Structure 1
Amino acid sequence: MPAASGVGLRLRKGEHLRLVDPEGGQTGDLVAYSADGSERLSSGRTFDYNEKVRLSTGDALWSDRSNRLLTIIADEVGRHDMFYAACTREMYALQYGIDDHPNCHDNLSAALRGQGIDPVFLPQTLNFFMNVEIDEEGRLSIAPARSWPGAAMVLRAEMDLIVALSACPSTMCNGGVPPRPLGFEILEP
């Protein structure tokens, strides 16, 4: 997946999705829907049912209808985020005064439309490899990603899914350097 781009794909129940950071320090966004589009990723349910906000091996990503979508079965990095929303054109304009910047929201939305999902309201994403710190007062801050060249995580589909991925175009989420590509592959169990 080229830097600052997105892709949509379909996973069958039991297939594994391997996400790879080929160059290190790159973050990505993932959103998942049931194959019929009736369920979508929920950060709230995911936090509730895992009873934690730091997700890693063994934890599940849950739908807004309380069904497992994906389970993390391997995680070399161990630091991901579900607090920050996908970056948008509006975010770049409001926070940085930049008009028409490439963004994860547009990448994910286009990828989902290509798979037959109309993302009227894009759900919260799993920001994989994104390193977010939480201070004592609950303030969030983005720190450089902890991934290194070749670092990977593997998720197992718990139902037939439509998944969209974005290689985040933000320099802030990627340690202050220009965006780089991300890799993915679908593996049979």
Structure 2
Amino acid sequence: MPDNLTIIPPRSGVSFLLKKGQRLKVVDLEGEQVSDFVCYNLADKGEVISSGRTIDYAETILLTKGHPLYSNRSNVMCEIVEDTVGRHDFLLTPCSADTFRIIYGHTHPHRGCFGNLCAALKDYGISPDAIPISFNIFMHVTVDGDTGKVAVLPPKSKAGDYVVLEAKMDLLVGLTACSAEMSNNYAFKPIGYQIEG
């Protein structure tokens, strides 16, 4: 395991501050584990990461090194500056108790990444309705070109793969070790992260 990593246990989440110019390294410690990432402008938490604006401006759903992640106000919040995998998702919402009930048929569903993000961000005044679509690091989602059908496949990440995001403003960050079976090839593992700079 790399030195200086903070570990997010399987099926849990954390929140922390990331200052402008700092870099967040997110590491898949064992392989095939997704990490949901959300962020807010620390100075005005009504400004939040936006899937729609980011995809619109990038003109691709395959975001990787060199792509900025935009806010709902069209400001760059952070940029992907390193990426050893090159396949992530910015289409699907954080998994939730409803995800497990509707998709998996669980009668006693896990609260999922949505619930974990709600708990992690609550002390910063973030309400459940303010949780956006997350940038799903390492998640492998395909879209059929003819039917538009979405498929969730096992992540392409191997043990030790990582992504580095550089903050372009002071951020409040929520980060998880994803709880959804299909997203993680039916095994739940930890995620490591560290702040650089």
Following superposition of structure 1 onto structure 2, how do residues 1-189 of structure 1 map, counting pairs within 5 Å?
1-35=8-42, 36-98=44-106, 99-136=108-145, 137-177=147-187, 179-188=188-197
Deviations 1:33-71 (A, max 9, x none): 100302001111001111211100000110000100110
- 2:131 maps to a residue whose letter is L
Distance 1:37 1:117 in 2: 8
Q: How many residues align?
A: 187
Distance 1:90 1:121 in 2: 17
**Shift, 1:101, TM fit:** 1.3
Structure 1's consecutive aligned runs of 4 or more residues displaced over 3 angstroms after TM superposition are none
- 2:166 maps to a residue whose letter is R
- 1:9 maps to a residue whose letter is F
Indicate the percent of aligned positions where both proteins have the same amino acid. 42
Contact 1:34/1:159, CA 8 A, preserved across alignment: yes
How does the TM-score come out when normalised to structure 1? 0.95
Contact 1:8/1:115, CA 8 A, preserved across alignment: no
Contact 1:8/1:114, CA 8 A, preserved across alignment: no
Deviations 1:167-189 (A, max 9, x none): 01112111122x1000000000x
**Shift, 1:117, TM fit:** 2.6
- 2:38 maps to a residue whose letter is V
The root-mean-square deviation of aligned C-alpha atoms, in Å, is: 1.1
**Shift, 1:116, TM fit:** 3.5
Structure 1: gaps spanning 5 or more residues:
none
- What corresponds to 2:4 in structure 1? none
**Shift, 1:23, TM fit:** 0.5
